[in-house]
A = this chain, B = another copy of it.
């Protein structure tokens, strides 16, 4: 069979399973997740062995160090997967929740019931933990899932998938609820994203080129987890101690993630007081600074930031700094160069806080807190399948609720339309 036929067959099975899974009890879904945790624990030796093959092959291909790091599984990371499965099993169900049930004057009761989306395709790079997290979140929300991980993690993914498959079977969930595409070529992804009518949603997780590839060719809806060029703006009225803590946290605590700060904007009136100490601390933490002319006038020996810097997601210990003349310039800069991900203002001025919240149109807009909180767990969702930088269906961290859609249920006693 061709790759396309293979994927089509899998998508058809997933679609059929999705109708059964949509009606599955919370108990059986949770049972599948806790069993998966147990089986993965029991199989951790063989999972690590399979992972070793992937790591060895990636090293022989001289893949970057960060890539190898994300690919590598060890007992602690397997423990992380297990606790993630348990955590998702403990979350309450969103399927079947009815919102806004209301009675119309003609006596009809009308409400919106949350239902699974159907079949969700996840296309991701070589991070084996995504295999487990995404399968767990999809199944908990009643969706069939088709996983397509990066080719360099294929042995790890298959090992993990076997555990999931067994657990789902033991819990009585339909065959076809969880699927993995083992074709490592690009044509398998192309086939998946063209399965209109069988696949209801594709979520690409990974770098820019993967996301562009999926977006360009997809015939099914896509929700993107795209780049984060996040800003912190330190207002004239800011508590400068607080601002320093937030700026350092947003940049340094984990620079390689999408919700880390890439550009710091500082009001001109406090720049001379604020920047020297902050820049020293950032440099001490190993951070490279690129500044506008005013920044470079205040603190000597800083590389000049070009317009390209304002548009760059470093994902690294690099920070661009711009001194702005007021909050208007800060908002303008963010709306022009930002990626509508996460932005924060540090201010003690009520009006400016209000204005920032209103005029910044990013998925997450903060007052007096670090952008690093943009995360399903930190928002109280328990877990997330990604952070949407799209505008439709879901924005920001996506949890179980965002993996559902709704149908209207209407209860009458014989009403007809006049």
Judged by a CB distance under 8 angstroms, whether A121 is at the interface is: no
On whether the beta carbons of B361 and A22 are closer than 8 Å, the reply is yes
B379–A412 CB distance below 8 A: no
Q: Is the CB of B379 within 8 A of A408?
A: yes
A246 beta carbon closer than 8 Å to chain B: yes
Residues B414 and A369 in contact, CB atoms below 8 Å apart:
yes
In the complex, what residues of B have CB within 8 A of residue A368's CB? Answer: 411-415
A42 sits at the interface (CB 8 A): no
Name the B residues within 8 Å of A362 (CB-CB): 407
A22-B331 Cα distance, complex, nearest whole Å = 15
Q: Are A364 and B408 in touch, CB under 8 angstroms?
A: yes
Contact, CB under 8 Å: A373 / B117: no
A299 contacts the other chain (Cβ, under 8 Å)? no
A53 → chain B closest CB, angstroms: 35
- Contact, CB under 8 Å: B413 / A380: no
* Residues 345-372 of A at the B interface (beta carbon under 8 Å): 353, 357-359, 361-370, 372
Decide: B363 and A407 in contact? CB cutoff 8 A: yes
B221 touches A392 (CB 8 A): yes
A277 contact set on B, CB distance < 8 A: none
The reply to whether B407 and A370 contact each other, CB–CB distance below 8 Å, is no
Report which of B242, B335, B361 forms a contact with A115, defined as CB distance below 8 A. Answer: B361
Name A416's contact: one of B253, B392, B408 (CB within 8 Å): B253
Q: Nearest Cβ distance between residue A93 and chain B, in whole angstroms?
A: 14
Contact with A365, one of B353, B405, B409 (Cβ below 8 angstroms): B409
A378 interface neighbour in B359, B397, B417, Cβ under 8 Å: B417
Complex Cα gap A391–B223 (Å):
13
Q: Are A395 and B412 in contact (CB under 8 A)?
A: no
Decide yes or no whether A23 CB sits under 8 A from chain B. Answer: yes
Q: A245 at the A/B interface (Cβ < 8 Å)?
A: yes
| Mask of A133-165 contacts with B, CB within 8 angstroms, 1/0 | 000000000000000000000000000000000
Task: Given A249-B417, A417-B373, answer yes or no on A411-B118 (Cβ-Cβ < 8 Å).
Answer: no
A304 within 8 A of partner (CB): no
Q: Which residue of B lies closest to A105 (CB)?
A: B380
How far is it, in angstroms, between the C-alpha of A239 and the C-alpha of B414 when the chains are bound? 9
Of chain B, the residue at the smallest CB distance from A359 is B23
The answer to whether A392 touches B392 (Cβ under 8 A) is yes
Mark each residue of chain A from 35 to 70: 1 if its CB lies under 8 Å from any CB of chain B, else 0: 000000000000000000000000000000000000
CA distance A123 to B194 in the complex (A): 24
**A78 beta carbon closer than 8 Å to chain B:** no
Tell me if A104 is interfacial: C-beta within 8 Å of chain B: yes
Out of B104, B246, B250, which one reaches A414, CB within 8 Å? B246
Known pairs A249-B416, A373-B415; A408 contacts B365 (CB<8 A): yes
A291 at the interface (CB under 8 A from B): no
Q: How far is the CA of A115 from the CA of B363 in the complex (A)?
A: 10
Nearest CB in chain B to that of A113: its residue: B357
**A338 proximal to B (CB < 8 A):** no
Please tell me if A393 contacts chain B, counting CB pairs below 8 Å.
Answer: yes
Q: Which residue of B lies closest to A360 (CB)?
A: B407
Q: Which of B335, B358, B412 contacts A369 (CB 8 A)?
A: B412
| Nearest 7 pairs of A and B residues by beta carbon | A369-B412, A249-B416, A372-B417, A242-B414, A393-B393, A369-B415, A364-B408
- 5 extra interchain contacts, Cβ-Cβ under 8 A, other than A104-B380, A373-B415? A22-B361, A253-B416, A369-B410, A370-B416, A392-B392
Name 15 A/B residue pairs within 8 A (Cβ), A-sorted. Answer: A108-B373, A118-B391, A200-B392, A239-B414, A365-B407, A366-B410, A368-B412, A368-B414, A368-B415, A369-B410, A372-B417, A391-B405, A393-B393, A395-B405, A396-B407
Chain A contacts to B: CB under 8 angstroms: 19, 22-23, 102, 104, 108, 110, 113, 115, 117-118, 200-201, 221, 239, 242, 245-246, 248-250, 253, 335, 353, 357-359, 361-370, 372-374, 378-380, 390-393, 395-397, 405-417
